[in-house]
Amino acid sequence: MIFTSSRLPVRATVWVLLAALALALPFIVILGGERAAGRELLWDFSMGLGFGALAAAGLQFVLTARFRPVTRAYGMDIVYLFHRYFAIGAVALMLGHFAILYIWFEDALGDLNPLTAAWELTSARVALGAFVLLVITSEFRKTLRIPYELWRYGHIVLAVIAFGAAIAHIIGVGHFTGEADKRILWLGVTVSWLLILVWTRLIHPFSIWRNPWRLVENIPRHGGVHSLVFEPLGKPMKPWKPGQFAWLWLDTPPFSIRQHPFTISTPPEQGPRVTFSIKPLGDFTAGAIHAPPGTRAYLDGPYGAFSIDNDPEAEGFVMIAGGVGITPMMSNLHAMAERGDTRQVVLIYANPDWDDVTFRDELEWLEKSQNLTVVHVLDDPPEDWQGETGKVDRALLEHHLPEATHHWPHFLCGPGPMTQAVKTALLDMGVPLRAIDSEVFDFV
Protein backbone atom coordinates (compact mmCIF):
# COMPACT_ATOMS: atom_id res chain seq x y z
CA MET A 1 0.00 0.00 0.00
CA ILE A 2 1.37 3.39 -0.95
CA PHE A 3 0.29 6.14 1.42
CA THR A 4 0.93 9.31 -0.46
CA SER A 5 -2.34 11.10 0.04
CA SER A 6 -1.93 12.80 3.42
CA ARG A 7 -5.42 11.76 4.67
CA LEU A 8 -4.92 8.04 4.20
CA PRO A 9 -2.26 7.51 6.90
CA VAL A 10 -4.36 9.56 9.36
CA ARG A 11 -7.42 7.39 8.68
CA ALA A 12 -5.35 4.24 8.85
CA THR A 13 -3.86 5.31 12.19
CA VAL A 14 -7.28 6.17 13.63
CA TRP A 15 -8.57 2.69 12.74
CA VAL A 16 -5.53 1.03 14.30
CA LEU A 17 -6.05 3.06 17.50
CA LEU A 18 -9.73 2.11 17.62
CA ALA A 19 -8.81 -1.56 17.16
CA ALA A 20 -6.21 -1.28 19.93
CA LEU A 21 -8.83 0.27 22.22
CA ALA A 22 -11.29 -2.55 21.46
CA LEU A 23 -8.61 -5.07 22.37
CA ALA A 24 -7.53 -3.23 25.52
CA LEU A 25 -11.09 -2.77 26.79
CA PRO A 26 -11.45 -6.17 28.48
CA PHE A 27 -8.17 -5.72 30.36
CA ILE A 28 -9.11 -2.17 31.42
CA VAL A 29 -12.47 -3.40 32.69
CA ILE A 30 -10.98 -6.31 34.60
CA LEU A 31 -8.01 -4.46 36.05
CA GLY A 32 -10.16 -1.39 36.77
CA GLY A 33 -12.59 -3.36 38.95
CA GLU A 34 -12.17 -4.37 42.57
CA ARG A 35 -10.48 -7.74 42.80
CA ALA A 36 -12.51 -10.11 44.96
CA ALA A 37 -10.63 -11.26 48.03
CA GLY A 38 -8.66 -14.45 47.52
CA ARG A 39 -8.56 -14.20 43.75
CA GLU A 40 -5.11 -14.40 42.24
CA LEU A 41 -3.73 -11.99 39.69
CA LEU A 42 -2.95 -14.98 37.46
CA TRP A 43 -6.60 -15.96 37.52
CA ASP A 44 -7.65 -12.44 36.50
CA PHE A 45 -4.98 -12.42 33.82
CA SER A 46 -6.37 -15.64 32.39
CA MET A 47 -9.87 -14.10 32.35
CA GLY A 48 -8.40 -11.04 30.63
CA LEU A 49 -6.90 -13.31 27.97
CA GLY A 50 -10.30 -14.93 27.45
CA PHE A 51 -12.10 -11.62 27.05
CA GLY A 52 -9.22 -10.23 24.96
CA ALA A 53 -9.57 -13.25 22.68
CA LEU A 54 -13.25 -12.55 22.24
CA ALA A 55 -12.56 -8.86 21.54
CA ALA A 56 -9.97 -9.83 18.88
CA ALA A 57 -12.40 -12.34 17.41
CA GLY A 58 -15.20 -9.73 17.54
CA LEU A 59 -13.08 -7.33 15.46
CA GLN A 60 -13.50 -9.81 12.62
CA PHE A 61 -17.07 -8.61 12.20
CA VAL A 62 -15.74 -5.13 11.41
CA LEU A 63 -12.90 -6.39 9.23
CA THR A 64 -15.11 -8.59 7.05
CA ALA A 65 -18.05 -6.16 6.78
CA ARG A 66 -16.38 -4.27 3.88
CA PHE A 67 -16.95 -0.91 5.55
CA ARG A 68 -15.72 1.54 2.96
CA PRO A 69 -13.88 3.89 5.39
CA VAL A 70 -11.84 0.86 6.52
CA THR A 71 -11.17 -0.64 3.08
CA ARG A 72 -10.35 2.79 1.63
CA ALA A 73 -7.75 3.43 4.29
CA TYR A 74 -5.83 0.17 3.74
CA GLY A 75 -6.99 -1.69 0.64
CA MET A 76 -9.05 -4.87 0.87
CA ASP A 77 -6.06 -7.23 0.80
CA ILE A 78 -4.51 -5.55 3.86
CA VAL A 79 -7.88 -5.66 5.64
CA TYR A 80 -8.04 -9.41 4.98
CA LEU A 81 -4.47 -9.73 6.23
CA PHE A 82 -5.55 -8.05 9.49
CA HIS A 83 -8.51 -10.43 9.59
CA ARG A 84 -6.12 -13.36 9.28
CA TYR A 85 -3.62 -12.17 11.90
CA PHE A 86 -6.27 -11.05 14.40
CA ALA A 87 -7.90 -14.49 14.09
CA ILE A 88 -4.59 -16.23 14.78
CA GLY A 89 -3.99 -13.80 17.66
CA ALA A 90 -7.47 -14.50 19.07
CA VAL A 91 -6.87 -18.25 19.04
CA ALA A 92 -3.46 -17.75 20.69
CA LEU A 93 -5.12 -15.72 23.49
CA MET A 94 -7.82 -18.39 23.91
CA LEU A 95 -5.17 -21.08 24.19
CA GLY A 96 -3.34 -18.91 26.75
CA HIS A 97 -6.58 -18.52 28.75
CA PHE A 98 -7.12 -22.27 28.65
CA ALA A 99 -3.45 -23.15 29.39
CA ILE A 100 -3.33 -21.00 32.57
CA LEU A 101 -6.51 -22.60 33.86
CA TYR A 102 -5.28 -26.07 32.93
CA ILE A 103 -1.90 -25.63 34.66
CA TRP A 104 -2.82 -23.62 37.76
CA PHE A 105 -6.59 -23.93 38.22
CA GLU A 106 -7.44 -27.36 36.86
CA ASP A 107 -10.49 -27.67 39.10
CA ALA A 108 -12.12 -24.75 37.28
CA LEU A 109 -12.17 -26.79 34.07
CA GLY A 110 -14.50 -29.35 35.59
CA ASP A 111 -15.55 -32.58 33.98
CA LEU A 112 -14.42 -33.21 30.39
CA ASN A 113 -17.27 -35.55 29.44
CA PRO A 114 -19.88 -33.37 27.68
CA LEU A 115 -22.70 -35.57 29.01
CA THR A 116 -21.86 -34.80 32.61
CA ALA A 117 -19.88 -31.54 32.31
CA ALA A 118 -21.39 -28.13 33.09
CA TRP A 119 -22.88 -26.77 29.80
CA GLU A 120 -20.99 -23.48 30.08
CA LEU A 121 -17.65 -25.33 30.19
CA THR A 122 -18.61 -27.59 27.28
CA SER A 123 -19.51 -24.39 25.38
CA ALA A 124 -15.99 -23.12 25.98
CA ARG A 125 -14.50 -26.30 24.49
CA VAL A 126 -16.84 -26.15 21.51
CA ALA A 127 -15.89 -22.49 20.95
CA LEU A 128 -12.17 -23.22 21.21
CA GLY A 129 -12.47 -26.19 18.82
CA ALA A 130 -14.48 -24.15 16.31
CA PHE A 131 -12.06 -21.20 16.43
CA VAL A 132 -9.07 -23.52 15.98
CA LEU A 133 -10.82 -25.22 13.03
CA LEU A 134 -11.58 -21.82 11.51
CA VAL A 135 -7.90 -20.90 11.57
CA ILE A 136 -6.63 -24.29 10.35
CA THR A 137 -9.09 -24.56 7.44
CA SER A 138 -8.28 -20.99 6.37
CA GLU A 139 -4.51 -21.17 6.71
CA PHE A 140 -4.26 -24.56 4.99
CA ARG A 141 -7.27 -24.40 2.65
CA LYS A 142 -5.17 -25.03 -0.44
CA THR A 143 -3.00 -27.74 1.15
CA LEU A 144 -6.16 -29.47 2.39
CA ARG A 145 -7.66 -29.02 -1.12
CA ILE A 146 -10.89 -27.51 0.20
CA PRO A 147 -12.83 -25.92 -2.70
CA TYR A 148 -13.23 -22.17 -2.20
CA GLU A 149 -17.04 -22.16 -1.95
CA LEU A 150 -17.22 -25.12 0.39
CA TRP A 151 -14.63 -23.37 2.54
CA ARG A 152 -16.70 -20.15 2.62
CA TYR A 153 -19.89 -21.95 3.69
CA GLY A 154 -17.91 -23.86 6.31
CA HIS A 155 -16.27 -20.63 7.48
CA ILE A 156 -19.65 -19.01 8.12
CA VAL A 157 -21.07 -22.07 9.91
CA LEU A 158 -17.97 -22.47 12.09
CA ALA A 159 -17.92 -18.74 12.91
CA VAL A 160 -21.57 -18.83 14.06
CA ILE A 161 -20.90 -21.91 16.22
CA ALA A 162 -17.70 -20.40 17.64
CA PHE A 163 -19.24 -17.04 18.60
CA GLY A 164 -22.47 -18.57 19.88
CA ALA A 165 -20.59 -21.02 22.07
CA ALA A 166 -18.15 -18.35 23.32
CA ILE A 167 -20.97 -16.01 24.35
CA ALA A 168 -22.86 -18.88 26.01
CA HIS A 169 -19.66 -19.70 27.93
CA ILE A 170 -19.19 -16.13 29.18
CA ILE A 171 -22.80 -15.76 30.24
CA GLY A 172 -22.90 -19.22 31.81
CA VAL A 173 -19.66 -18.82 33.78
CA GLY A 174 -20.66 -15.33 34.85
CA HIS A 175 -17.16 -13.99 35.72
CA PHE A 176 -17.03 -10.23 35.23
CA THR A 177 -20.60 -10.18 33.99
CA GLY A 178 -22.26 -10.01 37.39
CA GLU A 179 -22.06 -6.25 37.95
CA ALA A 180 -24.60 -4.18 36.05
CA ASP A 181 -22.06 -1.86 34.34
CA LYS A 182 -20.00 -4.80 33.07
CA ARG A 183 -23.11 -6.64 31.95
CA ILE A 184 -24.12 -3.55 29.99
CA LEU A 185 -20.65 -3.38 28.43
CA TRP A 186 -20.65 -7.01 27.23
CA LEU A 187 -24.25 -6.72 26.13
CA GLY A 188 -23.36 -3.58 24.16
CA VAL A 189 -20.43 -5.37 22.52
CA THR A 190 -22.58 -8.39 21.60
CA VAL A 191 -25.39 -6.22 20.23
CA SER A 192 -22.84 -4.27 18.11
CA TRP A 193 -21.62 -7.55 16.61
CA LEU A 194 -25.16 -8.60 15.84
CA LEU A 195 -25.93 -5.24 14.23
CA ILE A 196 -22.82 -5.49 12.05
CA LEU A 197 -23.88 -9.01 11.08
CA VAL A 198 -27.39 -7.85 10.16
CA TRP A 199 -25.92 -4.99 8.13
CA THR A 200 -23.43 -7.27 6.34
CA ARG A 201 -25.77 -10.16 5.59
CA LEU A 202 -29.13 -8.39 5.13
CA ILE A 203 -29.19 -4.60 4.86
CA HIS A 204 -26.16 -4.18 2.59
CA PRO A 205 -27.17 -7.07 0.23
CA PHE A 206 -30.70 -5.68 0.15
CA SER A 207 -29.48 -2.29 -1.09
CA ILE A 208 -27.42 -4.10 -3.77
CA TRP A 209 -30.45 -6.18 -4.76
CA ARG A 210 -32.51 -3.02 -5.33
CA ASN A 211 -30.01 -1.85 -7.95
CA PRO A 212 -29.49 -4.66 -10.47
CA TRP A 213 -27.24 -4.54 -13.55
CA ARG A 214 -27.54 -6.10 -17.00
CA LEU A 215 -24.80 -7.63 -19.12
CA VAL A 216 -24.81 -5.76 -22.42
CA GLU A 217 -21.66 -7.05 -24.14
CA ASN A 218 -19.37 -10.06 -23.85
CA ILE A 219 -16.14 -9.44 -25.77
CA PRO A 220 -13.59 -12.28 -26.22
CA ARG A 221 -9.92 -11.25 -25.84
CA HIS A 222 -6.54 -12.92 -26.28
CA GLY A 223 -5.55 -15.44 -23.61
CA GLY A 224 -9.10 -16.74 -23.04
CA VAL A 225 -10.12 -13.54 -21.24
CA HIS A 226 -13.59 -12.10 -21.83
CA SER A 227 -14.56 -8.49 -21.14
CA LEU A 228 -18.09 -8.30 -19.73
CA VAL A 229 -19.78 -4.90 -19.98
CA PHE A 230 -22.61 -4.16 -17.55
CA GLU A 231 -25.08 -1.28 -17.47
CA PRO A 232 -26.94 -0.20 -14.36
CA LEU A 233 -30.70 -0.77 -14.22
CA GLY A 234 -30.93 1.15 -10.96
CA LYS A 235 -28.51 3.47 -9.19
CA PRO A 236 -25.06 3.49 -10.86
CA MET A 237 -21.97 2.60 -8.88
CA LYS A 238 -20.41 5.30 -6.70
CA PRO A 239 -17.52 7.03 -8.50
CA TRP A 240 -14.53 4.72 -8.50
CA LYS A 241 -10.80 5.25 -8.80
CA PRO A 242 -8.89 3.52 -11.58
CA GLY A 243 -7.57 0.18 -10.30
CA GLN A 244 -10.42 -0.42 -7.87
CA PHE A 245 -12.54 -3.56 -7.97
CA ALA A 246 -16.09 -4.71 -7.31
CA TRP A 247 -17.77 -7.95 -6.26
CA LEU A 248 -19.89 -9.56 -8.95
CA TRP A 249 -22.94 -11.84 -8.63
CA LEU A 250 -24.13 -13.34 -11.93
CA ASP A 251 -27.67 -14.64 -12.10
CA THR A 252 -27.76 -15.03 -8.30
CA PRO A 253 -29.17 -12.60 -5.73
CA PRO A 254 -26.65 -10.69 -3.62
CA PHE A 255 -27.66 -12.59 -0.49
CA SER A 256 -25.74 -15.56 -1.86
CA ILE A 257 -22.04 -16.03 -1.11
CA ARG A 258 -21.38 -16.80 -4.84
CA GLN A 259 -19.76 -13.42 -5.32
CA HIS A 260 -16.36 -12.86 -6.91
CA PRO A 261 -14.07 -9.83 -7.01
CA PHE A 262 -12.96 -8.33 -10.35
CA THR A 263 -11.10 -5.17 -11.27
CA ILE A 264 -13.24 -2.49 -12.87
CA SER A 265 -11.47 -2.01 -16.16
CA THR A 266 -13.59 0.93 -17.30
CA PRO A 267 -11.95 4.26 -16.42
CA PRO A 268 -14.19 6.20 -14.02
CA GLU A 269 -14.62 8.91 -16.66
CA GLN A 270 -16.43 6.39 -18.91
CA GLY A 271 -19.04 5.28 -16.37
CA PRO A 272 -21.79 4.46 -15.53
CA ARG A 273 -21.15 1.27 -17.57
CA VAL A 274 -18.71 -1.05 -15.86
CA THR A 275 -16.45 -3.60 -17.57
CA PHE A 276 -14.74 -6.61 -15.99
CA SER A 277 -12.13 -8.60 -17.90
CA ILE A 278 -12.32 -12.16 -16.67
CA LYS A 279 -9.94 -15.09 -17.10
CA PRO A 280 -11.48 -18.55 -16.66
CA LEU A 281 -9.70 -20.14 -13.72
CA GLY A 282 -12.43 -22.14 -11.96
CA ASP A 283 -16.17 -22.84 -11.82
CA PHE A 284 -17.46 -19.30 -11.58
CA THR A 285 -15.12 -17.67 -14.09
CA ALA A 286 -15.54 -20.55 -16.59
CA GLY A 287 -19.31 -19.93 -16.52
CA ALA A 288 -19.04 -16.14 -16.44
CA ILE A 289 -17.14 -15.88 -19.72
CA HIS A 290 -20.05 -17.58 -21.52
CA ALA A 291 -22.75 -15.38 -19.97
CA PRO A 292 -25.05 -14.07 -22.73
CA PRO A 293 -26.04 -10.39 -23.01
CA GLY A 294 -29.16 -9.77 -20.96
CA THR A 295 -27.85 -11.74 -17.95
CA ARG A 296 -28.81 -10.06 -14.70
CA ALA A 297 -26.00 -9.18 -12.33
CA TYR A 298 -25.39 -7.44 -9.03
CA LEU A 299 -22.30 -5.40 -8.19
CA ASP A 300 -20.86 -4.27 -4.90
CA GLY A 301 -18.11 -1.71 -5.12
CA PRO A 302 -15.89 0.11 -5.52
CA TYR A 303 -13.26 -1.27 -3.17
CA GLY A 304 -9.48 -1.32 -3.03
CA ALA A 305 -6.68 1.19 -3.19
CA PHE A 306 -4.50 0.03 -6.10
CA SER A 307 -4.65 3.30 -7.93
CA ILE A 308 -2.49 5.98 -9.53
CA ASP A 309 -4.87 8.44 -7.84
CA ASN A 310 -3.21 7.67 -4.52
CA ASP A 311 -0.18 9.58 -5.71
CA PRO A 312 -1.15 12.70 -7.65
CA GLU A 313 2.40 14.09 -7.30
CA ALA A 314 4.21 11.07 -8.79
CA GLU A 315 6.52 11.85 -11.73
CA GLY A 316 5.82 8.52 -13.37
CA PHE A 317 4.77 4.94 -12.64
CA VAL A 318 6.24 1.47 -12.90
CA MET A 319 3.72 -1.34 -13.46
CA ILE A 320 4.66 -5.02 -13.37
CA ALA A 321 1.96 -7.52 -14.28
CA GLY A 322 1.74 -11.28 -14.77
CA GLY A 323 -1.14 -12.82 -16.76
CA VAL A 324 -4.57 -11.56 -15.74
CA GLY A 325 -2.82 -9.23 -13.25
CA ILE A 326 -2.82 -6.81 -16.18
CA THR A 327 -6.45 -5.77 -15.49
CA PRO A 328 -5.78 -3.13 -12.80
CA MET A 329 -2.89 -1.78 -14.90
CA MET A 330 -5.22 -1.39 -17.91
CA SER A 331 -7.72 0.41 -15.75
CA ASN A 332 -5.04 2.86 -14.57
CA LEU A 333 -3.58 3.29 -18.09
CA HIS A 334 -7.01 3.92 -19.63
CA ALA A 335 -7.74 6.53 -16.98
CA MET A 336 -4.44 8.28 -17.79
CA ALA A 337 -5.30 8.26 -21.50
CA GLU A 338 -8.80 9.56 -20.80
CA ARG A 339 -7.41 12.40 -18.68
CA GLY A 340 -4.59 13.33 -21.05
CA ASP A 341 -2.11 12.44 -18.29
CA THR A 342 1.30 12.35 -19.99
CA ARG A 343 3.38 11.10 -17.09
CA GLN A 344 5.79 8.34 -18.03
CA VAL A 345 4.83 4.71 -17.40
CA VAL A 346 7.00 1.62 -17.77
CA LEU A 347 4.89 -1.55 -17.94
CA ILE A 348 6.60 -4.94 -17.63
CA TYR A 349 4.10 -7.63 -18.62
CA ALA A 350 4.88 -11.35 -18.24
CA ASN A 351 2.96 -14.16 -19.94
CA PRO A 352 3.52 -17.82 -20.84
CA ASP A 353 3.37 -17.14 -24.61
CA TRP A 354 2.32 -14.55 -27.17
CA ASP A 355 -1.21 -15.95 -27.56
CA ASP A 356 -1.76 -15.41 -23.83
CA VAL A 357 -1.02 -11.69 -24.00
CA THR A 358 -4.41 -10.15 -23.23
CA PHE A 359 -4.92 -6.53 -24.37
CA ARG A 360 -1.79 -6.62 -26.56
CA ASP A 361 -3.55 -4.58 -29.29
CA GLU A 362 -4.84 -2.01 -26.83
CA LEU A 363 -1.39 -1.75 -25.29
CA GLU A 364 0.15 -1.15 -28.72
CA TRP A 365 -2.35 1.64 -29.28
CA LEU A 366 -1.73 3.12 -25.81
CA GLU A 367 2.02 2.96 -26.40
CA LYS A 368 1.58 5.12 -29.50
CA SER A 369 -0.73 7.66 -27.89
CA GLN A 370 0.69 7.76 -24.33
CA ASN A 371 4.08 8.19 -22.68
CA LEU A 372 4.12 4.42 -22.16
CA THR A 373 6.82 1.79 -22.67
CA VAL A 374 5.64 -1.83 -22.66
CA VAL A 375 8.17 -4.60 -22.05
CA HIS A 376 6.63 -7.99 -22.88
CA VAL A 377 8.28 -10.97 -21.19
CA LEU A 378 7.45 -14.45 -22.51
CA ASP A 379 8.21 -17.84 -21.01
CA ASP A 380 7.79 -19.62 -24.29
CA PRO A 381 8.40 -17.09 -27.10
CA PRO A 382 7.72 -17.60 -30.82
CA GLU A 383 10.80 -18.27 -32.99
CA ASP A 384 11.20 -14.75 -34.34
CA TRP A 385 10.75 -13.13 -30.87
CA GLN A 386 13.13 -10.23 -30.27
CA GLY A 387 11.90 -9.28 -26.80
CA GLU A 388 12.52 -10.45 -23.27
CA THR A 389 12.14 -14.09 -22.27
CA GLY A 390 12.09 -16.13 -19.04
CA LYS A 391 11.22 -14.78 -15.61
CA VAL A 392 11.04 -11.18 -14.43
CA ASP A 393 14.23 -11.12 -12.36
CA ARG A 394 16.56 -8.47 -11.01
CA ALA A 395 18.71 -8.34 -14.18
CA LEU A 396 15.64 -7.71 -16.34
CA LEU A 397 14.29 -5.09 -13.95
CA GLU A 398 17.64 -3.27 -13.74
CA HIS A 399 17.84 -3.25 -17.51
CA HIS A 400 14.46 -1.55 -17.96
CA LEU A 401 14.15 0.52 -14.80
CA PRO A 402 16.87 3.16 -14.50
CA GLU A 403 17.64 4.58 -11.07
CA ALA A 404 15.55 7.68 -11.81
CA THR A 405 12.41 5.50 -11.69
CA HIS A 406 13.18 4.03 -8.25
CA HIS A 407 11.15 6.58 -6.32
CA TRP A 408 8.12 6.28 -8.65
CA PRO A 409 5.17 4.26 -7.37
CA HIS A 410 5.56 0.61 -8.42
CA PHE A 411 2.37 -1.43 -8.97
CA LEU A 412 2.69 -5.22 -8.89
CA CYS A 413 -0.06 -7.69 -9.74
CA GLY A 414 0.30 -11.30 -10.83
CA PRO A 415 0.75 -14.82 -9.50
CA GLY A 416 1.84 -14.81 -5.83
CA PRO A 417 5.35 -16.24 -6.36
CA MET A 418 6.08 -13.79 -9.19
CA THR A 419 4.87 -10.79 -7.18
CA GLN A 420 6.96 -11.84 -4.20
CA ALA A 421 10.10 -12.42 -6.30
CA VAL A 422 9.71 -9.07 -8.08
CA LYS A 423 9.17 -7.27 -4.78
CA THR A 424 12.35 -8.79 -3.34
CA ALA A 425 14.31 -7.85 -6.48
CA LEU A 426 13.02 -4.27 -6.41
CA LEU A 427 13.95 -3.90 -2.73
CA ASP A 428 17.44 -5.28 -3.49
CA MET A 429 17.77 -2.68 -6.25
CA GLY A 430 17.11 0.07 -3.73
CA VAL A 431 13.44 0.79 -4.49
CA PRO A 432 11.95 1.92 -1.16
CA LEU A 433 9.26 -0.34 0.32
CA ARG A 434 6.82 2.57 0.52
CA ALA A 435 7.04 2.91 -3.29
CA ILE A 436 5.88 -0.69 -3.86
CA ASP A 437 2.19 -1.58 -3.91
CA SER A 438 0.99 -5.06 -4.77
CA GLU A 439 -2.49 -6.40 -5.42
CA VAL A 440 -3.23 -10.04 -4.73
CA PHE A 441 -6.02 -11.76 -6.65
CA ASP A 442 -6.14 -14.34 -3.92
CA PHE A 443 -7.36 -13.16 -0.49
CA VAL A 444 -7.12 -16.66 1.03
Ligand X SMILES: Cc1cc2nc3c(=O)[nH]c(=O)nc-3n(C[C@H](O)[C@H](O)[C@H](O)COP(=O)(O)OP(=O)(O)OC[C@H]3O[C@@H](n4cnc5c(N)ncnc54)[C@H](O)[C@@H]3O)c2cc1C
**Binding region for ligand X (CB under 6 A):** 148, 245, 259-263, 276-279, 281-285, 304, 324, 327, 441-444
- 176 vs 262, beta carbon nearer ligand X: 262
- 165 vs 418, beta carbon nearer ligand X: 418
Q: How far is the CB of 271 from ligand X (least distance, A)?
A: 17
Task: State the SS3 of the chain.
Answer: CCCCCCHHHHHHHHHHHHHHHHHHHHHHHHHHCCCCCCCCHHHHHHHHHHHHHHHHHHHHHHHCCCCHHHHHHHCHHHHHHHHHHHHHHHHHHHHHHHHHHHHHCHHHHCCCCCCCCCHHHHHHHHHHHHHHHHHHHHHCCCCCCCCHHHHHHHHHHHHHHHHHHHHHHHHHHCCCCCCHHHHHHHHHHHHHHHHHHHHHHHHHHHHHHCCCEEEEEEEECHHHCEEEEEEECCCCCCCCCCCCEEEEEECCCCCCCCCEEEECCCCHHHCCCEEEEECCCCHHHHHHCCCCCCCEEEEEEEECCCCHHHCCCCCEEEEEEEHHHHHHHHHHHHHHHHHCCCCEEEEEEEECCHHHCCCHHHHHHHHHHCCEEEEEEECCCCCCCCCEECCCCHHHHHHHCCHHHCCCCEEEECCHHHHHHHHHHHHHHCCCHHHEEEECCCCC
Q: How far is the CB of 279 from ligand X (least distance, A)?
A: 4
Q: How far is the CB of 274 from ligand X (least distance, A)?
A: 12
- 387 vs 416, beta carbon nearer ligand X: 416
The residue number whose beta carbon is nearest to ligand X equals 282
Cα 243 to Cα 66, 301, 304, 405, 409, distances in angstroms: 17, 12, 8, 21, 14
- 244 vs 405, beta carbon nearer ligand X: 244
Chain-centre distance of CA 315, in angstroms?
29
Q: How far is the CB of 223 from ligand X (least distance, A)?
A: 10
Q: How far is the CB of 65 from ligand X (least distance, A)?
A: 15
- 327 vs 405, beta carbon nearer ligand X: 327
- 327 vs 438, beta carbon nearer ligand X: 327
- 117 vs 444, beta carbon nearer ligand X: 444
- 30 vs 246, beta carbon nearer ligand X: 246
Q: How far is the CB of 273 from ligand X (least distance, A)?
A: 16
Q: How far is the CB of 315 from ligand X (least distance, A)?
A: 27
- 81 vs 168, beta carbon nearer ligand X: 81
Q: How far is the CB of 152 from ligand X (least distance, A)?
A: 7
Q: How far is the CB of 427 from ligand X (least distance, A)?
A: 23
